Amino acid sequence: MKPRLIAFLIVILLVFSLTSTVLAQSYSFILEEEVVHVYFNDDGTMSLDYTFVFKNNPGAHVIDFVDVGMPHPGYDWNSIVADVDGHAVSIDSDYQGSGDGIAVDMGSYAIPPGGRGKVHVYVGKIENVFYTDDDDETYASAVFGTTWFGSQYVTGSTDLTVSLHLPTGIQPDEPRYHLPSNWPGDQEPQASMSTTGRVTYTWHSPNANGHTQYTFGASFPKSYIPESAIVTAPAFDTSWFNEDNLILILMCSCFAFFFLGIPILTGISQRKRKMKYISPKIAIEGHGIKRGLTAVESAILMQEPLDKVMTMILFGVIKKNAAEVIKREPLNLKVASPLPEKLHQYEKEFLEAFADGKNNRADQRKKLQKVTVNLIKSIEKKMKGFSRKETLAFYKNIMERAWKQIEAADTPEIKSEMYDEALEWTMLDKDFDNRTRDVFRTGPVFVPMWWGRYDPSYTRPAGSASKPFSIPTSSTPGKSLTSSMPQLPGADFAASMVTGVQGFSDKVIGNLNDFTGKVTGVTNPPPKPTSSGRSSGGSGCACACACAGCACACAGGGR
């Protein structure tokens, strides 16, 4: 009897173990990639195009359904189609999340444990997505929030791309993008004009995830969609005030969040954005490199700090013998008359800011801001039809090559000559300060011929008083041009170059954030912020959409 009893107990334990394993099996997957296209159509409706790439984790539940949240009930069921790896599948109403949504029935194309599959969902018609913009009654506004899955089911990171396609006919300078919410990538989108005449805003991040809702939005003149398509929001929307949202309501009433958290976060975001003085490129998609830009123009394209850009211009006009520093504090320039030939337009405008010699700082700042605005607009015009990404890579390569040649120079004379020739290009480096100090850490520096026009306090070495900064002549073949020029200790020269940028900022343009902010206000005006929310955990939908517009697609179910 005893052996039989033991055998019976073993069988019971095995059955229980297998049953527990099956019952414990749950959804667990990686959302490797997600691409979302949101079409704001000419008739005032919205279309959604989702592409998900799932990798099912080993040992997990087969992915037999995929829940996709919808903004609200105003979607056309008959306009929805789906496929898995190109094979058509059916749409089911068995949506497992709270709020509104649909379920993709994977059928025979369900993704097994360890497998991978691409799920595509297209929703052709969603109504009631546009509202009147809060800041401009002549503009319509819409906000879109991505669908998401329960954090207990989705693992890993997601390569996410979201594109908003605006109605046709909108001119490049008319629309405004909204700052995204929860977004781990760049706040500013890549902007383009499609071949069908749609302005498109695209955000991309390889560091997103599948369990967070990200919100995006845009505003544009109402005239591009029917007036009847714009929803008139009630004075107070009570539809979301229910038991399910009680926790959300209590959280939203938190004093600390609204009166401390939001102002602080907003202030940080605004200060950061002020430094982004170039607006997203809105033009027909171009290709190829825009060659022929100067170092200063390249610095604008790279959105280098404007105090550095102004210092680059200062070095340029001094090297061209168009100006001389009479006094550093406050900065006072003696402008040449007549001006040398072949000055760039931005150099002429820069000199005009100092031409009267009155040192009215407020007036100079306004003029320098105008110089910068004109320069930015000029760059944007030159870049039409060219790839900004390829162009940036091209000029960064020029900068790196210049540094490598300087760093590889085997004598102080050659190093000094190369640094003088490539000065503005080396200043494109975000680590310009440290690399300059490293290059001239030891040994003397043969100062450039224009140094005396830049540093009026420089003491001429003995024997060079007559013509210390003119081009030296030599009848000795092979003799270095720099060998008869004045010298400085390398550390002193490097310190003067590095502090030149800071000095220009402190003594001329004042607070860099304020200076850049006024430029940005003209060249890249702040976009409309969005207003949207969701329930915790990603299992439901709670889009708090105000008049700024609402097209929040909320996910649920976690399948």
**Which residues touch 70 (CB under 8 Å, ≥6 apart)?**
99, 100, 101, 102, 123, 126, 553, 554
Residue 114 burial (10 A CB sphere; 0-12, 13-18, 19+)? exposed
Q: Which is it for strands 176-179 and 528-529: parallel, antiparallel or unpaired?
A: parallel
Buried b (16+ CB within 10 A) or exposed e, 372-385: bbebbeebbeebee
How would you write the pLDDT of the chain (559 residues) with one tens digit per residue? 455 555 555 544 444 444 444 434 588 999 999 999 999 999 999 999 999 999 999 999 999 999 999 988 889 999 999 999 999 999 998 888 767 899 999 999 999 999 999 999 999 999 999 999 888 889 999 999 999 988 889 999 999 999 999 999 998 888 999 989 999 998 889 888 888 889 999 999 999 999 999 999 999 999 999 999 999 755 455 555 555 555 665 666 554 455 555 454 444 445 454 556 766 654 445 678 999 999 999 999 998 888 889 999 999 999 999 999 888 777 888 999 899 988 999 999 999 988 876 667 788 889 999 999 999 999 988 988 888 888 999 999 999 999 999 999 888 889 989 999 999 999 999 888 889 888 888 778 888 888 888 888 765 554 443 333 333 333 333 334 444 466 778 888 888 887 777 777 677 787 888 888 888 877 777 665 544 332 222 333 333 333 233 344 444 434 5
- Spell out the domains of the chain, with CATH numbers in brackets: 29-234+528-552 (2.60.40.1730), 295-461+485-522 (no CATH)
Three-point CA angle 495, 496, 502, nearest 5°: 95
* C-alpha–C-alpha distance, residues 281 and 201, integer Å: 10
Return phi, psi of residue 365, to 5°: -60, -45
- What six digits make up the tokens of 534? 């969701």
Q: What's the pLDDT at 243?
A: 53
Q: What's the pLDDT at 222?
A: 94
Single out the residue of 328, 295, 329 nearest to residue 312, CA to CA.
295
196 vs 150, 165, 166, 235, CA distance in Å? 37, 10, 11, 38
Count of beta carbons in the 10 Å neighbourhood of residue 67: 23
* C-alpha–C-alpha distance, residues 169 and 42, integer Å: 9
* C-alpha–C-alpha distance, residues 523 and 384, integer Å: 16
- What six digits make up the tokens of 159? 């390569």
Single out the residue of 531, 520, 514 nearest to residue 179, CA to CA.
531
Question: Residue 165 — left, alpha, or beta (φ > 0 → left; ψ -120 to 50 → alpha)?
Answer: beta
**Which residues touch 279 (CB under 8 Å, ≥6 apart)?**
191, 380, 523, 524, 525
Q: What's the pLDDT at 194?
A: 82
- What six digits make up the tokens of 28? 């667990």
Single out the residue of 168, 279, 274, 269 nearest to residue 220, CA to CA.
168
* C-alpha–C-alpha distance, residues 497 and 501, integer Å: 7
Q: What's the pLDDT at 500?
A: 73
**Which residues touch 245 (CB under 8 Å, ≥6 apart)?**
535, 542
Q: What's the pLDDT at 43?
A: 95
Three-point CA angle 129, 130, 132, nearest 5°: 150
Give the position of tokens 């949202």.
245
Q: Which is it for strands 158-168 and 323-327: parallel, antiparallel or unpaired?
A: unpaired
Single out the residue of 405, 340, 344 nearest to residue 371, CA to CA.
344
Q: What's the pLDDT at 330?
A: 75
Q: What's the pLDDT at 474?
A: 34
Q: What's the pLDDT at 251?
A: 62
In 127-197, DSSP assigns E strands to 130-132, 139-145, 154-155, 158-168, 176-179, 190-193
In the DSSP assignment, the letter for residue 181 is B
- What six digits make up the tokens of 471? 């081009």
Residue 115 burial (10 A CB sphere; 0-12, 13-18, 19+)? middle
